[in-house]
Amino acid sequence: MVTSTPTQGSPSQGFGRWHWRIMLGACLVMIGGSIVLSGMSFFHPYIIQELFPGNNGVFLWYYTFTLVSIVLSMMLLGKGLYPRLGAKRMMYLGVGLVTLGMVLFSFSSQAWHFYLAGTVLGIGYGLSFQLVPIIWVNNWFVSGKGTAIGIVMGGTGVGGMLWSLLVPMISSGAGWRSAMLLVAVVVCVIPVLSTWLLMRNTPQELGLLPHGFDPSAASPDPASQPGLLYRQALRSPWLWLVYAMIIVLGMVHAGSQVLAIYLQDVSVYSDPGLPLKAQPADETAFFSMLMISWTLGLLAFKPLLGWLNDRIGMLATMLLSLGMQALTFLYLPHMVYGSSTMLMFVAMMFMAAGMSNGTVQPPLLVAGAVGQRDFGKIWSFFGTGYFIGMAVGTPIWGLVRDISGSFVPAFYASPVLLMLVAVLSWWGMKQGQASYRQQP
């Protein structure tokens, strides 16, 4: 990435300070957005202990409402609102709804209250955090897009670390309702200020060009670039293949929702039958360290995966990172109490390498399959795949345990599915890319 001297009378070319500002601003935005899919889980033990001690499942249904709302808001609202409001206004709207959802959470006392709050959270997230930062990156970067997305999505890892420290500390003292309100303020302020101070929807607003744009082309406007229109994308079998593989990836990654349960039952506690409050302090601390190492892994691997996509290619990056996760799935059935501590931490880091694909690879795959031309509208629909997979996959993981008495069969099936995802999604992306480039 180099910075070029602007040519008088023409848009500035190359990678400059505004490209850095866009990556930084979008990364800060995603720190706030991480609360929905990562940070809320840190509130669960306090809410369940106070309101749902014998009926955990009733409360956790709110997560399904959140995921479904993300999908529907992107599919039904995002496509129509984005051309009218633009990226920055969409972000303000979505952040406002996420903040409202968290306020509703803080005053909830019955299951349906949490379902309503989860629905509002999901609508807000779908209209903003899942949609807008990806559009910003697509508008500002033609090349180096993988690195940019990796840096932006690294904000979710930073946010995860922030919530893992802030939420338990405040909830243990002032209570989870006060912690929720304080976090809501943080979630509102950081993305809004970052969007206002740092972001511009397109480089053309500043007389700049997207990084990697060919100056011999007629116009840097995405609408003039090669690619599929929204209606053409809906008819592309290659894009649907990519979409299906992203859904499968989400289904496998839904195993993250049961990983803590498995570790507590098999790997961490010498007597899993004891109540959590009665477990030895050193074993509880070890469990916390495992979870923190996983979060740190996400923080490190998301930018790294983006960079690797640009350096060694998408297929090699997916095979490497998902292969690391596959090794963890194969090791988990043998990761019992008393196993090597070093191997357990390595397994968590390898799991993080694979999980990082969930936010980094889908936008790169879809963008590769459809081009720049109508990406915003197309992503508003096809950006839902990972969440559909998570929503479908979570009960499937539970069903496997109910039928077999263990998560182990799903652990052994996951490596096969991950390798199919890597190969078929890349192949579908390349075929889609070849098809739109042949258009006149």
242 and 188, same domain (yes or no) = no
Q: Is residue 86 part of a domain?
A: yes
Last residue of a domain, one of 180, 206, 232: 206
What's the pLDDT at 280?
Answer: 83
What's the pLDDT at 440?
Answer: 55
> Residue 5 — pLDDT band, cuts 50, 70, 90?
very low
173 and 50, same domain (yes or no) = yes
Q: Is residue 216 part of a domain?
A: no
The CATH number given to whatever domain includes residue 348 is 1.20.1250.20
Two structure tokens written together for 402: 């109910």
Tell me: the pLDDT tens digits for 235-250?
999 999 999 999 999 9
47 and 102, same domain (yes or no) = yes
Q: Is residue 2 part of a domain?
A: no
Neighbours of 316 (CB within 10 A): 14
> Does pLDDT of 430 surpass 50?
yes
What's the pLDDT at 222?
Answer: 58
| DSSP one-letter string for 41-86 | GGGHHHHHHHH-TT-HHHHHHHHHHHHHHHHHIIIIIIHHHHHHHH
Q: Is residue 104 part of a domain?
A: yes
φ, ψ at 143 (rounded to 5°): -110, 165
What's the pLDDT at 278?
Answer: 74
What's the pLDDT at 13?
Answer: 52
305 and 359, same domain (yes or no) = yes
403 and 309, same domain (yes or no) = yes
Contacts 24+ apart (CB under 8 A), 46-53: 46/171, 46/175, 46/176, 47/114, 47/176, 50/176, 51/109, 52/111
376 and 407, same domain (yes or no) = yes
172 and 296, same domain (yes or no) = no
148 and 263, same domain (yes or no) = no
Q: Is residue 6 part of a domain?
A: no
Q: Is residue 138 part of a domain?
A: yes
> Residue 10 — pLDDT band, cuts 50, 70, 90?
very low
Query: Which amino acid is located at 421 in the chain?
Result: V
> Residue 36 — pLDDT band, cuts 50, 70, 90?
confident
> Residue 439 — pLDDT band, cuts 50, 70, 90?
low
Last residue of a domain, one of 206, 234, 260: 206
> Residue 12 — pLDDT band, cuts 50, 70, 90?
very low
Q: Do 28 and 159 meet the contact criterion of CB atoms below 8 Å apart?
A: no
234 and 196, same domain (yes or no) = no
> Does pLDDT of 7 surpass 60?
no
What's the pLDDT at 224?
Answer: 62
Rounded to whole angstroms, the Cα distance separating 248 from 237 reads: 17
191 and 239, same domain (yes or no) = no
Tell me: the pLDDT tens digits for 333-375?
999 888 899 999 999 999 999 999 998 999 999 999 998 788 8
Last residue of a domain, one of 177, 206, 235: 206
289 and 201, same domain (yes or no) = no
Q: Is residue 24 part of a domain?
A: yes
Count of domains for the chain? 2
Tell me: the pLDDT tens digits for 363-414?
999 999 998 788 888 988 898 999 899 888 878 887 887 888 888 999 999 9
> What single-letter DSSP state applies at residue 7?
P
The parent domain of residue 235 ranges over: 222-440
Q: Which residue has the higher pLDDT, 56 or 35?
A: 35
> Does pLDDT of 275 surpass 60?
yes
Can you tell me the mean pLDDT for 208-224? 67
179 and 268, same domain (yes or no) = no
Q: Is residue 355 part of a domain?
A: yes
